[in-house]
Chain A
Amino acid sequence: MFFEHFNYWVFIILLMVGLYTVMSRTNLIKKMIGLSLFQISVFLFYISMGKIAGGTAPILIDPAPGAAPIVYSNPLPHVLILTAIVVGVATTALGLSLVVRIKESFGTIDEEDILKLEDEA
């Protein structure tokens, strides 16, 4: 059961580790790390779904006469996930730059300290 769907188990474990990190950490950088992990686990999910058992790289080749038809892996999910990787990088960059600005204005990157400072204002 576990090894049969190994990739999918890893995907779910990483997803949950990421989500838990986002929820449980108060340090904003650690939150961003959790969020990245959360997004990256989905990349793994898409990449796994494109793989077809025994399939080769999706480059068109003529099968040898009489040989079995060639099985290709599905390239589409891989292409899709390239887009999602770009989105993930952009999100991380924007999130980290916000953390920099927060550090500049509040002098801390710990969520609880920030909340205290906000209440005083």
Chain B
Amino acid sequence: MLSFVQQFPVLAIVLPLMSAPVCALTRGKVFPWFLTFLVSAFTFAISIELLAEVSANGPISYHLGGWEPPWGIEYLVDPLNAFMLVLISGISTGVLLYARESIAHEIREDQLGLFFTAYLLALTGMMGICITGDAFNVFVFLEIMSLSSYVLIAMGARNDRRALTASFQYLIIGTVGATFYLIGVGLLYMMTGTLNIADIASRFAEIGGMRPVQAAVAFIVIGLAIKLALFPFHVWLPNGYTYAPSIVTSFFAGTATKVSVYLLIRFIFTIFGMDYSFGVVGLTDILMPLAVVGFLSMSLVAIFQDNVKRLLAYSSVAQLGYIVLAISLASNEGLTAAMVHILNHAVVKTGMFLSVGSIFFVTGTVSLKKLEGIGQRMPLTTFGFVLGGLGLIGVPLTPGFISKWYLIKAVLDLESPLGYGLVAAILISSLLAVIYIWRVVEVAYFRPPPAGATRGEPPLTMLVPSWIFIAISFYFGIDTTFSVGFSKAIAAFLTGGA
């Protein structure tokens, strides 16, 4: 008889999965939300417990149905995915804390039960992708997450019918990405005869030189690049984030693309191995230029946006560029920077999207033109947004500064002219971030509010959670023991160094 604690890895997945159909049966304004919140909070608690357990006693392997890997499906919790589980369930719980008023405002009441069903399935998918140790199982969870996220984005149609086309576009691109991943896994299975990630990894050295394996690497990397919205595969992201309901945008901005980044890290470092990924295949030459062009161009495009949500969405693509750049450096320091930025950006962006959600809740618009004087009309919310914006720019004492510090340190370790060029690119992109955040500040504080404009803050249940995210982000900007400490441990674990 296994004890309850040993079942935690599977509970983290089964709990939201099984609650989803229950949620679909519930009606009313409060109950579906409350159930989802409860499940998410419980999942968060389990994830923290798993992270503590993994940091103390090393990786946990859970065999589904008692079948030994590599035959059965294995859930393998190691420092990397335990960290991701905490991040995902934490963001989800924080967003749900905020969700009740916001979503009731944006969605028909009789659809709330189904909305939260899709939300729980998206959470299940993200958690599943991270925890599973089986490459095909990853595909299944990837599709659970994707299908539910298409639904969640399309839910924004009540406010703006463009949500439907955004969702359709995401469906097409997302399916192409997932199918590429599926082909890659198929090719790997053909050559190794196994789907277990650890098992593939152990056999990879012998087969790495073969043509089907090289094709598999190409399919998987491109498939994941589409899913993580790496420039130039990002076209689905700005539309999706702009027209989705506020809480969906906040939830996805922090987690959805980060999960794909996690998969990319998992494949590059655990399965292919660093020597193969960067030495034999030369992924640096592919990922680095795309990342640099991505963050420069997307920061530039963000400057010209009128819709605040779209502005932040472009900024998200730019931030993903930083993360991919950090990964492409193929070093321990680079990986640390990537992990730090995954955490910091997730917290900051979620906080900012929640603030924008509050602005939408009160004023009914997110167009910059109509938000004149919003700093006086909604002082607390706007101030939270601006503090988050400072974090995106990377002002000292904000988490963005920590991320960029580690990123620049990792880049300078290259000790080559390329390194200096990259530092220059990062600084230029940060300056562009100053401009796009300043545009919002200018409209918010330096223009008088139009006569008769709505004033007042959103309900406390919305204001407090968005400030929690901003406060946590500042905490990570000042005390980096958790963020940098874990990131270093993960980087050391993945690169096999001390």
Contact = CB atoms under 8 A, between A and B. Distances in A.
A24 interface: no
A98 B168 contact: yes
Contact of A46 (B147, B162, B186): B186
Interface string A28-50: 10010001001100100110010
Interface string A3-32: 000000000000100010010000010010
Contacts of A102: 164-165, 168
Interface of B is mostly: helix
A95 B161 CA distance: 16
Contacts of A28: 168
B147 A90 contact: yes
Contacts of A42: 179, 182-183, 186
A99 B169 CA distance: 11
B162 A101 contact: no
B347 interface: no
Given A45-B183, A87-B140, A114-B165, A98 B176 contact: no
Contact of A98 (B136, B164, B179): B164
B164 A91 contact: no
Contacts of B179: 38-39, 42
Interface string A88-99: 001100110011
Interface stretch (B36-44, B150-158, B295-303, B395-403): B150-158
B175 A35 contact: yes
A31 B175 CA distance: 12
B157 A31 contact: no
B125 to A, nearest CB: 12
A19 B175 CA distance: 11
A19 B171 contact: no
Interface size for chain A: under 10, 10 to 19, 20 to 34, or 35 or more residues? 20 to 34
A94 B154 CA distance: 11
A35 B172 CA distance: 7
A95 B171 CA distance: 7
Contact of A101 (B157, B176, B182): B157
B140 A99 contact: no
Interface in B154-195: 154, 157, 160-162, 164-165, 167-168, 171-172, 175-176, 179, 182-183, 186, 189-190, 195
B189 to A, nearest CB: 7
B176 A106 contact: no
Main SS of chain A's interface residues?
helix
Q: Which of A28, A98, A101 has its CB near the most chain B CB atoms (within 10 A)?
A: A98
Contacts of B160: 121
B161 A105 contact: yes
A52 to B, nearest CB: 12
A31 B282 CA distance: 34
Given A39-B175, A45-B183, A98-B150, A118 B162 contact: yes
Given A35-B175, A38-B176, A42-B182, A118 B165 contact: yes
A92 B154 CA distance: 15
B78 interface: no
A58 to B, nearest CB: 15
Contacts of B147: 87, 90-91, 94
A118 B160 CA distance: 10
A71 interface: no
B168 A22 contact: no
B139 interface: yes
Given A19-B176, A35-B175, A84-B139, A101 B186 contact: no
Contacts of A105: 157, 161, 164
Top 10 A-B pairs ranked by shortest CB distance?
A105-B161, A87-B143, A98-B168, A102-B164, A101-B164, A49-B190, A95-B171, A91-B175, A118-B162, A46-B186
Given A35-B175, A45-B183, A102-B165, 17 more contacts: A28-B168, A42-B182, A77-B186, A80-B136, A80-B195, A83-B140, A84-B182, A87-B139, A98-B154, A98-B171, A101-B154, A102-B164, A102-B168, A105-B161, A106-B165, A118-B165, A121-B161
17 contacts: A22-B172, A22-B176, A31-B172, A38-B175, A38-B179, A42-B183, A45-B183, A49-B186, A77-B189, A80-B136, A83-B140, A87-B143, A98-B154, A98-B171, A106-B161, A114-B165, A121-B160
Interface of B: 136, 139-140, 143, 147, 150-151, 154, 157, 160-162, 164-165, 167-168, 171-172, 175-176, 179, 182-183, 186, 189-190, 195
